[in-house]
Every structure is written in structure tokens, then in C-alpha cells.
Structure 1
Amino acid sequence: MRLVPIAEESLGVRSVAMYIETGDLRILLDPGISLAPRRFGLPPHPREIIRVSELRRSLGEHLSRATHIFISHYHRDHFTVPYESIYMGTERDTYVGVYRGKVVIMKSPRDLNYSQRLRYHGLLKAIRDISRAIIYADGNTIDIGSTRVFFSESLPHGPEGSKTGRVVAVTIDDGDLRLTFMPDVQGPISERAIGYIASMEPEILVIGGPPIYLTHVFSQEEIENGIKNLLRIIDMPRLRSLIITHHTLRTLEWRSRLSEVFSRARARGVEMMTYAAMIGREEDLLEARRRELFETEPPPEGYIEQFRARGEDEE
């Protein structure tokens, strides 16, 4: 199994896009890239805008090989939207190159919240005539040659009853290696997410870690519960690699907050890493450094004004 991290917070954007190739399957997981419209009261720094463009090109290069697309849910950093956006590095027809001729395996609409349901219907309308096929992921299992792909039932986007929606995880098993990709479970916080991981027994786990910067959204107890659940995951006997992604890396202090998790991983012989580490790069947490970047590399006069009339829905 070949794993290629494409875009993620450790690479300077909001995303968890990853390309995976087995002997039978070439799939791109969550092909979205985005920037926070506001962080620290500031719009994206010019370096973030440049990074989105760079990683969009990388996404396109891997799309040329992919036969399948997986969409875990409908937050806009997880799929390519069918319209132009400076925050997502898209033009009006960018989405066509993402979905044309692909088998799109996507979260079903049955338990989406209002905003995600709107995005789902907008995406479906745009891609149903250009994709090769559309398959709902929730609870499904698909065999592609000797590769078996398992999809979880709908899971909470964070704690049970989360108002931010639902998400589907995917597990890919090529007979030699088993990987679980579980974005945006926020730790995980939910016991159902823990149960899915335990049932799949992956050797590699790509997980959306605790949202340690969102103290205005999540209680301290919920965040700490997400960290404790990472310790439980590390103790799972088959796990070899834990790849921490996404919300956790939106603060510069993330490593110190997860110090106990790192210690447990070392003791258990579990490799713990980021997307950046997987490809031998230094972490470049541009969003977490946004305030610093505006101070040390101030943009030209009038730069901020271009963002004032734009929407600020972060997810």
C-alpha cells in the first residue's frame, strides 16, 4: 500500500487530503483544501493563499491517477466545491477535474445537518452527470480486486449529538496492510468512533485529533477526553503508526498538549507523526502563525479590504 499525504494543517492549509494506491485501487480521500476565512481576527495571509494554490496543483497531479474519490462529510475542507473561492483555491470549473470520470463514494444525506445537506445537494447536482458512479459510503463494504474497503456507519463530528454534523470513516485492507482514515472525530471524543477503530484493528490510523484550540466550542472535559482516547488507541495491539491531523495542528502548542500521548507512543513502539513528517518536511503551521505572519511579513496596503465582503463560514 502506498500512502501520499497531499494537504493538511502541517503543510499549511485546512485539509486531510491523501492519495492511497494498492495493487487494485487508486483512491483520493477527502479531496478538499481550504483556509480559515478569519483567525485571530485576520483573513488568510498571502503565504496561505500561495500555499493553497501550490497544494491544489499537487492534488490535481494525484487526481490524474485516481479512479475513486472518497468524501467523509461536507465541510468544505474535505471536498472540492463547485464554485470559485479564494479560500479554497478554486475557479468555477475546478471541481470538474476532480470528479469527472471518477467513482465517487460519499457520505449519504440521511442524517446531515442543514448546512451540510445544502452542500451535499449542491455537490450532487454538479457531479452526477460527470462522475462515473456515485455510491453512498455509510456502512458499506466494497471489494476492488483483492483490496477490501470498509466504511463506518455515520459517526459524530466530535461528541455525541454534535451540531457540526456527521462523518464516515474508511478502512482499506490490501491483504498486507490495514489503514483506517477517520477525519474530524475530534480526538476521537465519541465512544462509537473508538469502537469502530477497535473493530477494524488497523496497523495505520489517520485520525482527526482533539480540537485543543476550540475552547470556546468544546468543554475542557471533552478536549481532555479526546486526549485520553488517543492513549487508549495507542494501547490497541495491532497499531503501528498513528498519524495526527487537522484540528489539533491549528495551535503551535499542540505537541506540548499531547506530550503524554507522545510518551505512551514511544513506550509502546507506535510511530506518531504528521503529514509533513510522512514526506520528510518540517511542519509549517501557517494558520496557527497567522498573527505572527501579519506582523513579520505585512501584506501590501489594501490587502485586508478585499476579504471584508466575503463569507466567513469556516467549515
Structure 2
Amino acid sequence: MQIEVLGSESFGARSLACVVRTENRVIVIDPGVALARLRFSLFPHPLEVAAAARIRDKVLSALAGATDVVISHYHGDHMPMRAEDPYQLPVEALPPLEGIRFWCKGPENISRLSARRRKELSAFLGFSLPNSEGENCGCISFSRPVPHGARGKGFGEVLMTRIREGDEVFVHCSDIQLLDREAVLTVLAWEPTTVLASGPPVYLSHRVPEAKTEAFENGLLLARNVDTLILDHHLLRSFSGYRWLKELGEAAGNKSGVLCAAEFMGEKPNLLEARRKALYRELPVPAGWHEAYARGEAGFEEYLER
């Protein structure tokens, strides 16, 4: 089994896309990318836009050879979109997908916006998206719906994915954020060797206090029972989240086995959203740049050369 994380906040943009290659299948999970439209009252910096473009290219390349595609839920950083902003993965850019099998979160307990996006993607593909909750097919299986974040907060539900080959078991937990113990116990019942999950939104701990307490306990439970725990996404929208990650590894006595996605892929973390304010100070953005980029009249090449 080969696991490649294609996008995440430690690569500079919002995503939790990955591709898992087994002997007979190439499984792309959550093929999407996005940027925070506003953070620190600032639009995305061109360096973030460049990072999102790199992730988009990796996702499209993986899709070109995929046998299976999994969509855990219908947020813009986890799926191809009818163009809502210029930073996401537009459905029009998708390669031919004939013969690829889709596995998707069902239509229950999702927001009105998510339901609309599900219908739009289905219409674009030309077939009804399946409800894959609780299904099994060869090396791949899916959970029943689990909360997107804390249970009972009204943020909807997500689909978790388990892939097994030989003695290796990979689990993709999407946006559980380690905020629900039952979801974490479901993961452990699958006896994973490697887990990729969204960590808690530490940058929102003033609104989500359990992001620092309950999530840490759940993270410890996972870290002590798997070989490799990859935490990213919501967690790495702040430098305090990266410190939380390192503290978790220390507490678990498993520093080398608790990683962000970039570290798992042998790269240095690049938390561009967390740096947005500093990026604007260090590399000023001309007035009107974002509008020009949206019209296709401006690029980010000059920033990449600095």
C-alpha cells in the first residue's frame, strides 16, 4: 500500500486530499482544495493561491489514474465544485471519469448547501451519487455517518474510509476533528496502522473549548494505538495548532509517529494561512490583484520568485 497526501494546510491550502494505491486499485479520497476567503480580514495571499494551484494539479493528476473516488462530505475543500470561487477545484477541470467508481456520503443529515452541491456534482457526472455509508467492497469499507466535529452542534456528518492490504490498514477520518469519542472508538475498532484525520480547530478554541481538552484526550487514545497518526487540516490553520500537535506526540511517547501531512510526505510544513498577515507585510499585494486573478488577468509567478 502506498499512501500519498495530496493537499492539506501544512502544504499551504485547505484540503485533506489523498490517494491510496494498492495492488489493484487507486483510491482518491476527498479530491478538493480551497482557501479561507477572509482570514485576519485579508483575502488569500498570492502565495496561498499558488499553493492551492499546486494541490489542484496533484489532485487532477491522481484522478486521471483513479479506479475509485471517495467524497466524505460536501464542503468545498473536499470535493470538485461548480465554480464558487477561483481557488477551488472546478468540476469543469476534471479529467474523463468513465469507469471510476464513486463512494459518497449519503444525502441524510447534510446542510441545504451540501445537498445542492451533491446534486450539482451528480448532474455534472451524469449519474446519481451513491450512499456508501456502511458499505464494503474488497479492500475498501466505509463507516456509518459520524459527526463533523463535535456531536450535536449542527455541523452535519461525514463518511470515514478504511483501506486494507495485507497487514496494513489505512483510515481516512476527514473532518472528525477528534471532537467525538464515539467516532474515535470506531476508528480504533478498525485496527488501523495509519490514520489521516483533521485535528481540532485550535485557532477557534475561544468558540470550541473542547478543541484543546477533549480532542487532546482523543488524540492520545489514537496516538497510543496506531503506528502513524497524521493530523492536519483544521489543526494547522494556526501555529498554536502545530504546537498542539508536537505536545500530543510528546505526551503519547510517540513523537516520530505523530505527524502533520507535510512531515509524513518528507516535506517541511508550510502554514501559509497562519502566516497570511505576515505574508501581506513581507510581500505586499497590489490593489485589485484578486479581482484581476479571478478574471484570469493576474498570476502569482512574481511572488514565487521572491
Same fold by TM-score greater than 0.5: yes
Write the distance in 1 (CA, Å) between the matches of 2:148 and 2:33: 18
**Alpha-carbon distance change, 270 to 252 in structure 1, aligned in 2, over 3 angstroms:** closer
Match of 1:179 among 170, 187, 196: 170
Shift of 1:36: 0.6
- For 1:311, the equivalent position in structure 2 comes to none
The answer to whether the aligner puts 1:157 opposite 2:144 as a matched pair is: no
Specify the code of the residue in structure 2 equivalent to 1:262.
G
Specify the code of the residue in structure 2 equivalent to 1:31.
P
The answer to whether the aligner puts 1:204 opposite 2:202 as a matched pair is: no
- For 1:85, the equivalent position in structure 2 comes to 85
Shift of 1:226: 0.7
- For 2:179, the equivalent position in structure 1 comes to 189
Structure 2 counterpart SS, 1:20: strand
**Alpha-carbon distance change, 33 to 99 in structure 1, aligned in 2, over 3 angstroms:** farther
Structure 1 counterpart SS, 2:3: strand
Tell me the alpha carbon deviations over residues 209-239 of structure 1, each in whole angstroms, 9 at most, x when there is no partner. Answer: 1110113542x13541111110111222xx1
Identity of aligned residues (%): 30
Shift of 1:99: 4.2
Structure 2 counterpart SS, 1:179: strand
RMSD (CA atoms): 2.1
Specify the code of the residue in structure 1 equivalent to 2:194.
I
Specify the code of the residue in structure 2 equivalent to 1:75.
H
Once the two structures are overlaid, the 10-residue window that deviates more, 18-27 or 297-306, is 297-306
Specify the code of the residue in structure 2 equivalent to 1:185.
I
- For 1:103, the equivalent position in structure 2 comes to 101
Specify the code of the residue in structure 2 equivalent to 1:204.
T
Write the distance in 2 (CA, Å) between the matches of 1:89 and 1:107: 19
Write the distance in 2 (CA, Å) between the matches of 1:98 and 1:51: 24
Write the distance in 2 (CA, Å) between the matches of 1:114 and 1:191: 27
Write the distance in 2 (CA, Å) between the matches of 1:258 and 1:127: 38
Asked if the contact 1:37/1:87 (under 8 Å) is kept, the reply is no
- For 2:159, the equivalent position in structure 1 comes to 168
- For 1:241, the equivalent position in structure 2 comes to 228
Write the distance in 2 (CA, Å) between the matches of 1:79 and 1:191: 26
**Alpha-carbon distance change, 256 to 306 in structure 1, aligned in 2, over 3 angstroms:** same
**Alpha-carbon distance change, 103 to 246 in structure 1, aligned in 2, over 3 angstroms:** same
The answer to whether the aligner puts 1:260 opposite 2:260 as a matched pair is: no
Specify the code of the residue in structure 2 equivalent to 1:93.
E
The answer to whether the aligner puts 1:289 opposite 2:284 as a matched pair is: no
Write the distance in 1 (CA, Å) between the matches of 2:159 and 2:89: 25
Shift of 1:155: 0.4
**Alpha-carbon distance change, 99 to 249 in structure 1, aligned in 2, over 3 angstroms:** farther
Shift of 1:84: 5.9
Write the distance in 1 (CA, Å) between the matches of 2:98 and 2:277: 39
- For 1:272, the equivalent position in structure 2 comes to 258
Once the two structures are overlaid, the 10-residue window that deviates more, 154-163 or 78-87, is 78-87
Specify the code of the residue in structure 2 equivalent to 1:224.
T
Specify the code of the residue in structure 2 equivalent to 1:23.
E
**Alpha-carbon distance change, 59 to 195 in structure 1, aligned in 2, over 3 angstroms:** same
The answer to whether the aligner puts 1:65 opposite 2:55 as a matched pair is: no
Asked if the contact 1:11/1:285 (under 8 Å) is kept, the reply is yes
The answer to whether the aligner puts 1:125 opposite 2:111 as a matched pair is: no
Write the distance in 1 (CA, Å) between the matches of 2:61 and 2:89: 15
**Alpha-carbon distance change, 43 to 101 in structure 1, aligned in 2, over 3 angstroms:** farther
**Alpha-carbon distance change, 46 to 293 in structure 1, aligned in 2, over 3 angstroms:** same
Write the distance in 2 (CA, Å) between the matches of 1:196 and 1:134: 25
Asked if the contact 1:36/1:87 (under 8 Å) is kept, the reply is no
Tell me the TM-score normalized by structure 2.
0.89
**Alpha-carbon distance change, 192 to 99 in structure 1, aligned in 2, over 3 angstroms:** farther
Write the distance in 2 (CA, Å) between the matches of 1:37 and 1:118: 20
Write the distance in 2 (CA, Å) between the matches of 1:189 and 1:182: 12
Specify the code of the residue in structure 2 equivalent to 1:142.
C
Structure 1 counterpart SS, 2:77: coil
Tell me the TM-score normalized by structure 1.
0.87
The answer to whether the aligner puts 1:226 opposite 2:215 as a matched pair is: yes
Structure 2 counterpart SS, 1:123: helix
Tell me the alpha carbon deviations over residues 23-65 of structure 1, each in whole angstroms, 9 at most, x when there is no partner. Answer: 1211101000111111111110011112222221121221121
**Alpha-carbon distance change, 42 to 20 in structure 1, aligned in 2, over 3 angstroms:** same
Shift of 1:245: 1.4
